[in-house]
Amino acid sequence: MSDRLLVLVRHGQSEWNLKNLFTGWKDPDLTEQGIAEARDAGRKLKAQGLKFDIAFTSVLTRAQHTLDLLLAEIGQTGLSTKKDLALNERDYGDLSGLNKDDARKRWGEEQVHVWRRSYDVPPPGGESLKDTLARALPYYVQEILPGVLRGERTLVAAHGNSLRALIMVLEKLSPEGILKRELATGVPIIYRLNADSTVASKLDLAA
């Protein structure tokens, strides 16, 4: 039987995570802590004895840098990697680059909370979580999942909201359930799938 392995990891802490800014499609790099988180993720995967056949990431620096650092730790620098904006973070539109506290002062606590935590209400000029799922899910189904089911050991380094899209399908979560799901930076989640693409086992490598 093939080892239908899929590992998801959110990028390490970015410079804008640290500054409490809405990031979205803006392109800050990792902080020192984020670099350490990415390396630690690689060490955790190495300790599990895992190797990969292919990797996927977004077109944003923080996800690509996380992937590079992680692969260096497991000795797989140069692994075949596909980059696609389908895996980009949710686009926060007019909120991008704003401090979250400043946004609350401008639009009000309740409105900003709705934009951040509702399933289908987008911020001005941006995407809702539902919109993010609408671009990430087809990419998962068409580009990532078939390889996993063929036995290609697959690593995806991406973002909190684009990974939520994949997790929603994998774990059969409702819109309400996925909103409550928090993803820590730099923590790999290891899934092994059944032949019908359902989850056979899940291991979260949080410390």
Helix axes 32-47, 61-73, angle to 10 degrees: 40
Query: Active site residue: 11, 37, 65, 159, which one?
Result: 11
Check if 89 is active-site.
yes
Nearest Cα neighbor of 137 from 106, 169, 180 is: 169
Check if 113 is active-site.
no
Q: Which domains are seen in the chain, by residue range?
A: 5-204 (3.40.50.1240)
- Residue 3 makes CB contacts below 8 A (sequence gap 6+) with 151, 153, 192
| Predicted local distance difference test score (pLDDT) of residue 2 | 63
| Predicted local distance difference test score (pLDDT) of residue 117 | 87
Query: Active site residue: 89, 127, 152, 159, which one?
Result: 89
Indicate the SS3 state at residue 197.
coil
Distance from C-alpha of 11 to C-alpha of 196, rounded to nearest angstrom: 29
Distance from C-alpha of 131 to C-alpha of 154, rounded to nearest angstrom: 25
| Low-confidence spans in the chain with pLDDT less than 70 | 1-2, 207
